[in-house]
């Protein structure tokens, strides 16, 4: 019993790489031994290798088999010492490694190495589910990396990667490969009832993102959710690209729906990638000189030009030239958008 305990203790400490190296060595050694012991039975080294592999996995096709006493004794030793024992250890180590990998991923301890992903910070489970649904329904079928203090992934999803840690720390954000991210969205803390504290926490994270952006000379596009509109000026100093006023936006939508009945359905359509008309960004065509040129051609294709970035007054400036860096937004269906993009 003591000897078995010692053996099992040693085996449990073997790494997967060590087990695989040992297996490769024994496979090659066994093939060489049988090739030298019975050259008539195994005329080629590959024949001996084929016999070794089928013997180890106890398949035994029978097309090659040893005929000498030495070969048969060696086969028995190979099957019962290495075939059953060692192969079982290797398979066990493989499953053990897969289990450990899954555990580390669920606990957010694995770095993300992909590119062109979206980073979400501080999002609740419900918000995260909505974001994933919207991304899946859009053309941007890429990964979402969630950074949060929790020790477990909030959701299980094929395109979701979780990083556990304080999002206000550079080390944690670098684990999410923030320098290669398409954008960073920072949600307000729904658990904090004090608006100043909630926005202060968001500002701290946004400032860290801006610090990383300057340190590595990388333009990181940042969107933040803010509780109070009076705090926008503070976030502007952190060079935040977009602001979402959570409480204020809901109040304004309620007021608009009360004044203009049915307007909430319009906002719902624009805010969701459902079937029908949606908001899309397009690039300027070389032959579009003015906003009027673009608007007329787009209208004939079935799309409505509504803005250049956040400027909604382009109808009054229809005679002005379109800058090459313009961010033109149109309302149309997906088929029309694809037609515009491919032209």
The answer on pLDDT for 84 being more than 70 is no
In this structure, of 134-143, 166-175, 278-287, the range with the lowest mean pLDDT score is 134-143
Residues 204 and 137 in one domain: yes
Residue pLDDT, tens place only, 239-296 = 888 888 776 555 566 556 656 666 667 666 666 666 678 888 898 999 999 999 999 9
pLDDT of residue 3: 42
- Write out the residue range of the structural domain in which residue 62 sits: 2-97
Residues 80 and 140 in one domain: no
112 lies in some domain: no
Residues 139 and 55 in one domain: no
Residues 208 and 127 in one domain: yes
Residues 165 and 219 in one domain: yes
Residues 196 and 288 in one domain: no
Measured CA to CA, the distance from residue 315 to residue 304 in angstroms comes to 11
Structural domain total, the chain: 3
The answer on pLDDT for 333 being more than 90 is no
Residue closest to 185 by CA, chosen among 176, 194, 195? 176
Measured CA to CA, the distance from residue 120 to residue 22 in angstroms comes to 44
Residues 73 and 144 in one domain: no
Determine the average pLDDT of the residues in 8-23. 63
Residue pLDDT, tens place only, 212-253 = 999 999 999 898 888 877 777 788 778 888 888 776 555 566
pLDDT of residue 59: 66
Rg for the chain (alpha carbons), in Å? 31
256 lies in some domain: no
pLDDT category at 51 given cuts 50, 70, 90 is confident
Measured CA to CA, the distance from residue 44 to residue 49 in angstroms comes to 9
- C-beta of residue 208 within 8 angstroms of C-beta of residue 173: yes
pLDDT of residue 275: 62
Residues 49 and 166 in one domain: no
105 lies in some domain: no
- What share of the chain has pLDDT > 90, as a percent? 21
Q: Pick the more confident residue, 329 or 97.
A: 329
Measured CA to CA, the distance from residue 27 to residue 50 in angstroms comes to 10
The answer on pLDDT for 2 being more than 50 is no
Residues 92 and 145 in one domain: no
Q: Pick the more confident residue, 264 or 120.
A: 120
178 lies in some domain: yes
Q: Pick the more confident residue, 18 or 3.
A: 18
Q: What is the CATH number of the domain that holds 189?
A: 3.40.50.720
pLDDT of residue 209: 92
The answer on pLDDT for 336 being more than 60 is yes
Residues 196 and 141 in one domain: yes
110 lies in some domain: no
């Amino acid at each position: 019993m003591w000897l078995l305990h010692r053996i099992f203790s040693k085996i449990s400490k073997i790494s997967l790489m060590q087990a695989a190296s040992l297996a490769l060595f024994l496979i090659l050694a066994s093939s060489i031994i049988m090739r030298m012991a019975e050259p008539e039975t195994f005329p080629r080294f590959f024949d001996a290798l084929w016999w070794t592999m089928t013997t180890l996995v106890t398949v035994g096709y029978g097309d090659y088999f040893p005929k000498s006493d030495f070969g048969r004794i060696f086969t028995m030793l190979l099957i019962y010492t290495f075939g059953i024992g060692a192969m079982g250890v290797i398979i066990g180590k493989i499953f053990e490694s897969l289990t450990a990998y899954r555990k580390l991923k669920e606990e957010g301890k694995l770095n993300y190495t992909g590119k062109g992903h979206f980073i979400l910070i501080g999002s609740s489970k419900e918000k995260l589910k909505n974001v994933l649904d919207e991304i899946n329904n859009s053309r941007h079928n890429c990964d979402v990396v969630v950074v949060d203090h929790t020790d477990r992934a909030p959701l299980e999803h094929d395109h979701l990667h979780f990083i556990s840690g304080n999002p206000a720390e550079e080390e944690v954000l670098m684990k999410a490969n923030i320098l290669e991210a398409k954008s960073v969205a920072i949600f307000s803390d729904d658990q904090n009832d004090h608006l100043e504290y909630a926005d202060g926490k968001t500002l701290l994270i946004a400032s860290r993102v801006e610090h990383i952006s300057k340190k590595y000379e990388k333009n990181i596009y940042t969107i933040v959710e803010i509780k109070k509109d009076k705090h926008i000026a503070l976030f502007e100093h952190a060079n935040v690209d977009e602001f979402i006023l959570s409480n204020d936006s809901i109040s304004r939508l309620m007021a608009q729906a009360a004044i203009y009945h049915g307007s909430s359905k319009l906002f719902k359509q624009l805010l969701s990638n459902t079937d029908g008309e949606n908001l899309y960004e397009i690039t300027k065509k070389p032959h579009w000189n003015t906003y009027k040129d673009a608007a007329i051609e787009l209208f004939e294709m079935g799309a409505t030009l509504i803005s250049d970035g956040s400027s909604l007054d382009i109808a009054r400036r229809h005679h002005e030239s379109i800058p090459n860096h313009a961010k033109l937004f149109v309302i149309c269906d997906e088929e029309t958008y694809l037609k515009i993009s491919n032209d």
